[in-house]
Chain A
Amino acid sequence: MIIAQQKPIKEIAAMIADCKKVLLAGCQGCVAVCLAGGDKETEILASALRIMRKLEGNPLEAVTYAATRQCDPEYIVPMDDLVKDVDAVISLACGVGVQYVAERYPDKWVVPALDTKFIGGSTVHGVWEEKCGLCGECILHRTGGICPIIRCSKSILNGPCGGSQYGKCEVSKDVDCAWQLIYDRMKALGRLDKMMEIQMPKDWSKSRDGGPRRAVREDVIIE
């Protein structure tokens, strides 16, 4: 899922300093699962902003709505009536949701409440870690199910490098050397020979080097 975290509340308040009424739009997708922008977080932020503004003697009317997800335009449409009379929309979605909301309401001030961090998962409740580098061409079948693109600090494809010491990365003693993990796992699987195969250079044009990407499936497009 996409992992996001809420911006400092003072930064969010500053973005809507000149607004009298705002809509806080939560998202029940990834950001709800990573406890950053679901129903609960949306209501907490609304309450905190109302209190903050009342204390400043400049009351704020804050209404809330949580879309099924904001990365599909059809789920933003139900917000139309709520958006009509607000001065701004604070989106608690990832960067994708914020942009779809901004596109839907071209005359509205749309601001992000979250910092979109990375693609990852949770290790325990409340702790998330980065797992995928979105490189556009998965190589996990060659690396024992461990992604060197994102889990190696250098994203190198022929590790480990000289900075690998006792299984840890030189960047931090808390970061495992991804290539050590890959080697250990391939060895345990009896597939070390796979690591000796000559690999062609990675096609980075399928990653961000190729500019903004699109994915198309002709067979499911509704005319």
Chain B
Amino acid sequence: MRIQYSPNIRIVEMTCTGNIDHRVILNAFEEGADGVYVAGCLEGDCHFQKGNFRAKKRVNAVKKLLDEIGLGGDRLEMYNLSAAQGPRFAEIANEMTAKIKALGPSPLNSPAGGCCGCSKEGATN
């Protein structure tokens, strides 16, 4: 199966989404990501039972924080899919890319923000 998906995704592998920390997400934005999405296992399928549910809570907390500080919680999402869902993985990658493209580059990357103006997108798995 050779499925194409948006080439602008940078995958950051983690042992489990339950290991997702607010800092990892914020760091991705500080390092230039225009958007970040967390791809966890299907709900109910966590090998560690609650990892993806815990990640969901943290993602929601960071979305709220991003709204408060003006970057916008829309730039962060959480998806659930299994390792066997290749087509769904590509679909999510394309969906998130389209969403972030519609939102435009992160204002942190604009010249006024003092960055290089690059257009990267961070993804965590």
Closest 4 CB pairs of A and B: A47-B26, A52-B69, A55-B70, A44-B22
CB of A47 within 8 A of CB of B23, answer yes
List the interface of chain B (C-beta within 8 A of A).
21-23, 26-27, 29-30, 65, 68-71, 107-108, 112-114
Q: Given A57-B112, A59-B114, verify A51-B21 contact (CB < 8 Å).
A: no
6 more A-B contacts (CB under 8 A) besides A51-B71, A59-B114?
A: A9-B65, A43-B23, A47-B26, A52-B69, A54-B113, A55-B71
Chain A contact residues: over half helix, strand or loop, or mixed?
helix
By beta carbon, the residue of chain B nearest A8 is B68
Query: For residue A50, which residues in chain B have a CB less than 8 angstroms away from its CB?
Result: 30
Q: List 5 A-B contacts (CB under 8 A).
A: A44-B23, A47-B30, A48-B65, A48-B68, A49-B69
A9-B65, A57-B113 as given contacts; A51 in contact with B108, CB under 8 Å: yes
Cα of A10 to Cα of B70 in the assembled complex, Å: 10
Given A9-B68, A59-B114, A51–B23 Cβ distance below 8 Å? no
Could you list which residues of chain A lie within 8 angstroms of chain B, going by C-beta atoms? 8-10, 40, 43-44, 47-52, 54-57, 59
Contact residues in B for A44 (Cβ distance below 8 Å):
22-23, 26, 65
- Among A43, A48, A57, point to the contact of B69 (Cβ < 8 A): A48
Q: Specify which chain A residues have a CB less than 8 angstroms from the CB of B30 in the assembled complex.
A: 47, 50-51
In the complex where A44-B22, A57-B112 touch, is A10 in contact with B29 (Cβ < 8 A)? no
Distance A48 CA – B22 CA, assembled complex (angstroms): 10
Contacts of A48 in B (CB 8 A): 26, 65, 68-69
In the bound complex, what is the Cα–Cα distance between A40 and B23 (angstroms)?
A: 8
Instruction: Tell whether, in the assembled complex, residue B108 and residue A54 are in contact, meaning their CB atoms are under 8 Å apart.
Output: yes
Q: Are B22 and A51 in contact (CB under 8 A)?
A: no
- B68 & A54 in contact (Cβ 8 Å cutoff): no
Interface contact A55-B68, CB-CB below 8 Å: no
Would you call B21 and A40 a contact (CB within 8 A)?
yes
Chain A residues contacting B114 (CB-CB under 8 Å) are 54, 59
Chain A residues near B65 (CB, 8 Å)? 9, 44, 48
CA gap between A47 and B30 in the complex, in Å: 8
- Chain B residue at smallest Cβ distance from A50: B30
Smallest distance from the beta carbon of B118 to chain A beta carbons, Å? 15
Once bound together, how far apart are the Cα atoms of A8 and B64, in whole Å?
12
A9–B22 alpha-carbon span in the complex (Å): 15
The reply to whether A55 and B23 form a contact with Cβ atoms under 8 Å apart is: no
Docked complex Cα distance between A57 and B70 (Å) = 12
Query: In the bound complex, do residue B21 and residue A55 qualify as a contact, i.e. CB atoms below 8 Å apart?
Result: no
Contact of B107 among A10, A40, A47, A55 (CB under 8 A): A55
Tell me the minimal C-beta distance from A57 to chain B in angstroms: 5
Which residues of chain A are within 8 angstroms of B113 by Cβ–Cβ distance? 54-55, 57
Chain A residues with CB below 8 A from B21, complex form:
40
**Docked CA distance A57–B110 (Å):** 10
Q: In angstroms, how far is the closest chain B Cβ from the Cβ of A6?
A: 11
Beta-carbon nearest neighbor of B108 in chain A: A54
The residue in chain A whose Cβ has the minimal distance to the Cβ of B113 is A54
